[in-house]
Amino acid sequence: MKHLVDKVALVTGATRGIGRGIAIGLAEAGATVYVTGRSLNNSSSDWVSGSLSETQSAIDEIGGVCIPVQVDHSDDEQVRLLFERIQDEQDGQLDLLVNNAYSGVQAIRDAFGQPFWDCEPSIWDASNNVGLRSHYIASVFAARIMTKHKSGLICTISSWAGMSYIFNAAYGVGKAACDRLAADMAVELKPYNVASVSIWPGIVGTELFDRFASEMNQTNATEQKNSFISDRYNWETPLFTGRAIAALACESNIMRYTGRVQIVAELADKYGIVDENGDRPASLRSLRFLLPTALPVLRTYSSLIPDIKIPWSLLLLNALSSPKI
């Protein structure tokens, strides 16, 4: 359904992965979608390929409207000019910002399995410059547009790492800060009828994570500890996140969600969304995910397990002792 016709959206970091999936999901719903990234055309030097032109082609194929803009989100001036362009081209309209740009995947891959003191201190900037900081900068410029119209939604892509250890200390701190950023921006934006939420996808089978998972599984110890990764159990596609955000953006009373974490799989349940293969992956706090993760023999029968969500209070109590990915 084209619920977002006449809406203008910006997705940062949309050359591949979750960003591309979000852009496609918003275009499916009828939005005019600006997408940013450092690569206009594919570069053979990239660890995993991806470009703005490829994202534009994918959106063109579904009849959507995509406007690619080459932007390095570590450069504040380039970001300022991006929003100036959107304001000029769209007569001051910007309905949705999705903060997704992230440049820390290579650093995470290189440092995997090492304690933080054995890593170069630069891993902090690699994880949180184009990531946490760039989300803040983009939100500043988006808010200047949205508050004038007293309407808009800012979605910041975060992670379950905001609550429990995943990958490394720098990554987890950055994601926890993304959640706090979304919550605190919501306080200041609320009088202007602009919503701010944090989005938690599940285990997303991006090009990068798929390759990363394959490398993780080269050792038996890793494979045993992370078998739900090795067999791609309950994985989501990037489009699943896009469809969830598109549905959320259509909410007539979006302000009731502002300042809160929104889990992609739970938004899918609420709005009746399915992934591109027709499945609906379970939330990572659902017994439908947790029990088969602990007992792989149950995975064949996961659809028979009640989709009961573990309360947030219990998740927080268990966070320090939860399995490490």
Instruction: Quick: pLDDT tens for 205-227.
Output: 887 777 766 766 665 444 445 55
CA–CA separation, 112 vs 134, rounded Å?
24
Catalytic residues: 171
Query: Token digits for 112?
Result: 């995997």
Helix H or strand E segment including 248:
helix 238-249
Residue 134 belongs to a domain with what CATH number?
Answer: 3.40.50.720
253 is a domain residue: yes
Question: Can you give the pTM of this predicted structure?
Answer: 0.91
User: Is residue 317 exposed (0-12), middle (13-18) or buried (19+ Cβ within 10 Å)?
Assistant: exposed
* HEC secondary structure over 52-79: HHHHHHHHHHCCCEEEEEECCCCCHHHH
Parent domain of 226 = 8-281
Query: Token digits for 12?
Result: 């940062």
For 9, 90, 120, the CA distances from 98, given in Å and listed in that order, are 8, 17, 30
CA–CA separation, 41 vs 57, rounded Å?
11
Mean pLDDT of 153-169: 92
289 is a domain residue: no
Mean pLDDT of 280-297: 90
With beta carbons less than 8 A apart as the criterion, state whether 96 and 153 touch.
yes
Residue 153 has pLDDT above 60, yes or no: yes
Q: Which residue has the tokens 């300042």?
A: 259
Please tell me the predicted confidence (pLDDT) of residue 293: 85
Sign of CA dihedral 80, 14, 265, 213: negative
With beta carbons less than 8 A apart as the criterion, state whether 23 and 33 touch.
yes
Q: Which residue has the tokens 């090492």?
A: 114
DSSP one-letter code for 309 = B
CA–CA separation, 172 vs 157, rounded Å?
13
Instruction: Quick: pLDDT tens for 15-52.
Output: 999 999 999 999 999 999 999 999 888 754 455 668 99
Residue 81 has pLDDT above 80, yes or no: yes
Please tell me the predicted confidence (pLDDT) of residue 317: 64
292 is a domain residue: no
pLDDT-derived band at 232 (thresholds 50, 70, 90) equals confident
286 is a domain residue: no
For 58, 87, 90, 144, the CA distances from 64, given in Å and listed in that order, are 9, 20, 17, 27
313 is a domain residue: no
Mean pLDDT of 308-323: 69
Closest CA to 94 of 106, 102, 83, 105: 83
Which of 192-201, 226-235, 311-320 is the most confident on average?
A: 192-201
- 8-11 sheet: strands from edge to edge: 65-70, 32-37, 8-11, 96-99, 152-157, 194-200, 261-263
φ, ψ for residue 273 (rounded to 5)? Answer: -90, 145
2 is a domain residue: no
pLDDT-derived band at 90 (thresholds 50, 70, 90) equals very high
CA–CA separation, 168 vs 178, rounded Å?
16
With beta carbons less than 8 A apart as the criterion, state whether 170 and 116 touch.
yes
255 is a domain residue: yes
Our count of domains for the chain comes to 1
Mean pLDDT score across all residues of the chain:
89
148 is a domain residue: yes
Helix H or strand E segment including 231:
none
